[in-house]
Structure 1
């Protein structure tokens, strides 16, 4: 994906608002002090298990009974009438036990299965709606319908970032029309996510050459000193406008977006240039060609971002919405992301990063045990599976359960509010204390709900 200089400024202005106003000091353009920079790393509420998050978002609702929730009774009852109508449909894929833990995982995730002893399978997930927009919004923001800050934005608000030359929250190649899923809503704009790439396509990677994987981020006609002087003059005008208005989030956002874009000139192209990655590393992620190349590049870039200090990275893969052709299409979707995710886990482990990096996998809901047509499944929000790895969770664990066919959670049900509460807890944040006052009331990611799943914490 190519970016122009104009697009960089537009993109980051949507995600970054209030940082630079307090720190731009006339002609010198001095950096803001740590005490006034809202992105300065902040102390957690208690010692954190995880320092950062990589969220592998499977858009469209992957079928739990065909991936990570083994249902032998569903196989035995294949063709019988289902609980809510329709005929029960056995999984077309084989499940086998893996690792010392013996977790049962479908053969379409044979590479991820090699890391079974690192996985915590949450097999009792629930959300409030069986429709894509509402469920996807709730997975990201805790609500099905209102515009609220996303999980990544809350994390950045609570903890700050460790690199002031890069965004603290990055959404890699999100689907079109999903800005609320990485947005800041009523939080200061500085905490919103920055989109890199679009439409599920990987951002362009430079191979050799100048390393300019973000084209036109630099102005070749101006030196850094000349650009700094030019920017100082523009920012002086912006500050004067802000002084007259007293408060203007739009101007504040422009101020910070210009400052961040200036700093990103050096950091971003270097970070997105993978020409120094070995052939073995590219192959480990499947980023060297074939059906895994696109998502493999995204997973590799996610590792590079978190290694550089980005707090929260989301990578999106889809579409898993198989109302028909489930056998072929679920296999194809898994083929595209199985090796990249396994490569990500392996790479994090060998770099000693998995222990304090929380990797999350999941979609907005699961799918029904009963067939839709001859080879498809409908939406199911009453019971489905997500998993976590690293970042202080117990590996090789199956938590919660759905009924014998996989219709709904019957053991340790985990609502999306509980899921959010647990993620924040692993990051050292108390979800009941992480609040922001807006429109006369205190808001939080979990609203007035949420219980931490203490049984999955190592």
Structure 2
């Protein structure tokens, strides 16, 4: 036996050794090019995650989340319910309403008359999806969309519902979805943040959005979202003060880094080094942000595609175009919030204006990504925090009505990023009040988004104060029926 081992060892000569080594080095080099964070220090955590490396091969690289803040009424947009028109003014059957929770705004109503939509619907595309006349541009791209009509949540008021969708918890103080993706996957462009936030507002009743929605929570602060403003300075405090040039700034940051390193060596607080990373990111952003914000290179065809409002900073259309530019530049998660969808009254007028604000630009974003070959690797999401009731809030008149909050069912759509195009998933009952097929909980939605980016929602974990936290808390399952 010893003789055989000796002969084998001698046969593994210098030439074979160097040949094998060259193959290994080639693999190392290729890996470092494909995954820049592959050989960073730190190793794998308790969850088996190496930051910057997905758990499995992703179908999407980035997310653009077009959040419609205030809860769009699905009955007026994507969930066609002709039965509501037939039963206009009739009391909602007790068997349908059941003992479901109501908000304080309608709990004391003496009656709950059903109200049909004021707007007509038509079927479009090979999918024959029903879309309202309020969304003519979206109707043209239905074969690129996966429309989910069976979303549901437990939260019945705006702040907890919005917080739940973004962070997986109604209470807040948790990392947002963008922060989790930044933590799990790292960035593609070292000169731009992993996670950016853009705000716009329509004419309707605007529910507030707060920085906790793009917070890093208990993750390092380098993972928090960076809010862009519509003013002259899209990222505040990024410019050098008067009298300071790039060389001076570089010297200051180097000296500050040395002082922070001393503090870290003494105290071991990881947040110290996170601050150093933020300073360095801000320095690099000073040259990267003006280039991304520059629309002068966009063609007339692109401006026409998004509509003239895309040239007005702070509008939804401008933010959609900016979202494409940021995503194209490698930003991992771009979050848009468009306020004004909370139509408790005056719904016909307000939702018409809101739909006009977002319809063309939302469809343009999908079209633009597709024609650039980016839609396959970019997951686009459109939707709000919950739905709207099938009965009216307050008095029902011929030309005016409103709808209250309804967590039991609502509609979103998704496009690109490995999601099946041209399908409608899930159904509600004939009155649009309860889910009748294929329910999708908020945690299921979150698990699916993470899955498309190569992350197992049960393994993307961070230990904090003795507990292992994750975006989907202790539930959630991937909705595999909508994945290509």
Same fold (TM over 0.5): yes
- Call closer, same or farther: CA 1:278–1:393 in 2, change over 3 Å: same
Residue 263 (structure 1) aligned to one of 284, 294, 306:
284
The counterpart of 1:196, out of the listed 205, 218, 228, is 228
Gaps of 5+ in 1: 1-31, 198-202, 207-211
* Partner residue, 1:247: 269
2:141 aligns to what SS in structure 1?
helix
The verdict on how the C-alpha distance between 1:213 and 1:159 changes in structure 2, with shifts beyond 3 A counting, is: closer
- The Cα of 1:260 is off from its aligned counterpart by 1.0
Alignment of 1:368-379 (within 5 A): 368-373=389-394, 374=396, 375-379=401-405
In 1, Cα distance between the equivalents of 2:259 and 2:455?
A: 39
Q: CA deviation at 1:213?
A: 8.9
Is 1:403 equivalent to 2:424 in the alignment?
no
Residues 123 and 402, structure 1, Cα contact 8 Å, conserved in 2: yes
Measure, in 2, the Cα distance between the counterparts of 1:260 and 1:45.
26
- Residue 463 of structure 2 is matched in structure 1 by 437
The 5 A counterparts of 1:10-409 are 35-36=40-41, 42-83=52-93, 84=97, 85-173=111-199, 177-197=209-229, 203-204=230-231, 217-218=239-240, 221-247=243-269, 249=271, 251-288=272-309, 294-373=315-394, 374=396, 375-409=401-435
**Is the 2:310–2:318 Cα contact (8 Å) retained in structure 1?**
no
* The structure with more radius of gyration: 2
Q: 1:431 to 1:423 in 2, by over 3 A?
A: same
Q: Is 1:291–1:335's contact at 8 Å kept on the other side of the alignment?
A: no
Displacement of 1:437: 1.0
Return the offset for 1:131: 0.3
Higher mean C-alpha displacement, 102-111 vs 35-44:
35-44
Q: Which runs of 5+ in 2 are unaligned?
A: 1-36, 44-48, 98-110, 201-206
CA contact 1:295–1:340 (8 Å) conserved in 2: yes
Gap change, CA 1:358 and 1:161, over 3 Å in 2: same
- Normalising by the residue count of structure 2, what TM-score does the alignment of the two structures yield? 0.81
Gap change, CA 1:177 and 1:377, over 3 Å in 2: closer
* Secondary structure at 2:123 match in 1: strand
* Cα pair distance change 1:62/1:218, threshold 3 Å: same
* Offset of residue 258 of structure 1: 1.4
Does the CA contact (< 8 Å) of 2:71 and 2:386 recur in 1? yes
- Kindly state the Cα deviation for residue 237 of structure 1 after the two structures are TM-superposed: 2.1
Kindly state the Cα deviation for residue 271 of structure 1 after the two structures are TM-superposed.
Answer: 0.9
Which deviates more, 221-230 or 284-293?
Answer: 284-293
Structure 1's 314 and 339: CA in aligned 2 closer, same or farther, altered over 3 A? same
Tell me the matched-pair count. Answer: 417
Between 255-264 and 444-453, the greater mean CA deviation after superposition: 255-264
